[in-house]
Structure 1
């Protein structure tokens, strides 16, 4: 008998917005601790973060799925078509994927990736990309274990609040 938790993944509803915003705040603070100065962690006000996720869920831009353990939201993923200029309409993008820190390394990310992949396939996407900070080893390892490959020529510096972060695009086929 397996002791690995099984997570239900479903489309997010407006009732999930607060949990998504809370997980986004706590997971990004934990993930970026030591990568960005502490004063920049959590610099997005809670009300603004909640508003952004409510709008995304309501309008499907990006599409949002949540992972549930019982009836509790323990992670989420945002995905849609690629935002990169010049990419084919068949290229999707993982815009965000976060699990509550207490659930890291327990299969939540994999369940969310499976849900996002299914959604992108339903949209007719054949490839998917994700932008990841170069210093976020946990995220890079997750995506590489999920079959993504780094596109070395894509490294760029992007603003993250008042600081700048080096990111790289990762890509893989969906089928």
Structure 2
């Protein structure tokens, strides 16, 4: 029986990461964001972003794979939020290909992300999530994250205003 493996991403993984990012976003956000914004998502632009991230290690990028087929990815690093201590890490992104949802990919990625943040000396992890993204909120809450009261903010995506909230959890 094959087991989901997680490893650091390489530049060769950037296209697969971009394809998963676009497909998962288009599926997960179809009830949240305007269709035009989702349709405008570009694998080419995402690939350029993720190539640069992998090249600069900012954020650190990992991939989950089974028999060398990439099923999902995560990006993590120190928190980008102003005023947070250096011991606060952030999950910048965690996406599984829609065909692999509910198959353990997210958990494998979260476990590796948590380990990576701990190796960097982080004692707390945060992330931002769309408030109406029930699937993601449920996943992260099952992983021990709690909603941070008073952190809700509104951001503009594709001409629509959408609320997001910060979640946090201890890593110790």
Quickly name the TM-score band, shorter chain normalised. Answer: over 0.9
Match of 1:96? 93
CA distance in 2, matches of 1:80, 1:104: 24
Match of 1:62? 59
Shift in Å at residue 42 of structure 1? 3.8
Alignment deviations for residues 138-161 of structure 1 (CA, whole Å, 9 cap, x no partner)? 000000000000012100001223
CA distance in 1, matches of 2:46, 2:159: 16
Match of 2:138? 141
CA distance in 2, matches of 1:21, 1:45: 8
Alignment deviations for residues 64-85 of structure 1 (CA, whole Å, 9 cap, x no partner)? 0000011100000000000000
Q: Does 1:50 align with 2:78?
A: no
CA distance in 1, matches of 2:143, 2:110: 8
Match of 2:149, SS state, is: strand
CA distance in 2, matches of 1:159, 1:81: 24
User: How well do the aligned residues superpose, as a CA RMSD in angstroms?
Assistant: 1.2
CA distance in 1, matches of 2:98, 2:6: 18
Q: Does 1:39 align with 2:36?
A: yes
1:4-153 correspondence runs (5 A)? 6-153=3-150
For structure 2, list consecutive stretches of 5 or more residues without a partner in the other structure: none
Alignment deviations for residues 54-99 of structure 1 (CA, whole Å, 9 cap, x no partner)? 0001111110000001110000000000000000000000000000
Match of 2:165? 168
Aligned length: 172
TM-score, with normalisation over the residues of structure 1?
A: 0.95
